[in-house]
Amino acid sequence: TANAVRYTGAVPVFADIDLHTFNIDTRQLESLITPRTRAIIPVHLFGMPANMDIIMQIADKYHLYVIEDVAQALGASCLYKGRLQKAGTIGHMAATSFFPSKNLGCFGDGGAIITCDENLARKARLIANHGAENKYYHLIPGVNSRLDALQAAILRVKLRHLDDYIDKRRKAATYYHSLLSQINTVELPELSPFHSFNQFTLKIKDGKRDQLQNYLREHKIPTAIYYPLPLHLQPAFSYLSYSMNAFPVAENISRQVISLPMHTELEETQIIYIAEKIKAFFGR
């Protein structure tokens, strides 16, 4: 997400995250806006939409664009102005990913831009097609970012099943909750009706996250850390001169989170096995 900002020549400005949803902490937004600010980019992390009511209110106040990163939350919904609306359809534009691990995945790399603004749509099509509307006539600089026909055909079939995919993920998340909710040192993600559970991410609060991951690996249970190092501490963004403790919530959570297996083919017996091993680890 931040790389896309940098590619345009703009400067990304980071905000800390909410302690429970891991999304942007909207309480910080206004303090970060300057006369040079052009857009707010909320990332709907792990399948949980950010608070779009507040984000859009602030954007309207300061006349800013809102570009939603819906790569992990395509198909999820949120309440916006008192009614249910799909994540990715509220801001001026949204970007999504069709990487195979996403809720709607193709058989390789792919993505899409979503907008109701015809001018923005035309500009996006131009950029994605070498800056051309007619072959070999380039109106602006662009790139080759077209979705190939094979991936499009696969996605066209899978799209009609997206709600079912999300429902299966929610059922798996609910079952995880029923088995793990009694472990005091484990904080589970909220069972929100708006969450599409691209990931099922726990917080391990006793400092034993890495030991738990090693233990689960020994028992053939794959896990992942999303994400081990916050963006402001990554070498690629060292030029921004953020220091340690600039975003204490993100830094602390990066040392706690671990994501368990989550996909549409996850069986109850597999979830039971995973939960039993987690309980065994904390019961040692």
Question: Do the strands 137-138 and 257-260 form a parallel or antiparallel pair, or are they unpaired?
Answer: unpaired
Sorting pLDDT into bands at 50, 70 and 90, what band is 131?
very high
**Chain segment 151-162, per-residue pLDDT in tens:** 999 999 999 999
Percentage of the chain exceeding pLDDT 70: 100
162-282 CATH: 3.90.1150.10
With CA atoms as reference, report the closest residue to 278 among 252, 259, 263, 264: 259
Three-state DSSP class for residue 226: coil
Q: Place 284 in a pLDDT band, splitting at 50, 70 and 90.
A: low
**Tens-digit pLDDT profile for residues 54-82:** 999 999 999 999 999 999 999 999 999 99
Residue range 86-124, pLDDT digits in tens: 999 999 999 999 999 999 999 999 999 999 999 999 999
* Alpha-carbon gap, residue 267 to 53, rounded angstroms: 36
pLDDT given at position 276: 98
d(CA 65, CA 37): 9
| Separation CA 87–CA 77 (nearest Å) | 5
- Could you tell me if 40 and 258 are in contact, meaning their C-beta atoms sit under 8 angstroms apart? no
- Confidence grade of residue 44 (pLDDT, cut at 50, 70, 90): very high
Q: How far is CA 188 from CA 150, 202, 253, in A?
A: 38, 5, 13
- Give pLDDT tens digits for 236-268: 999 999 999 999 999 999 999 999 999 999 999
Q: Do domains 2-159 and 162-282 have the same CATH topology?
A: no
Query: Any idea where the domains of the chain sit in the sequence?
Result: 2-159, 162-282
Quote the pTM value. 0.95
Span 2-159 CATH architecture: 3-Layer(aba) Sandwich (3.40)
ω into 227 cis (within 30 of 0): yes
SS3 category, 190: coil
161-215 confidence digits (pLDDT tens)? 999 999 999 999 999 999 999 999 999 999 999 999 999 999 999 999 999 999 9
Q: What is the mean pLDDT of the chain?
A: 97
Angle at 241 between CA 236 and CA 247, to 5 degrees: 90
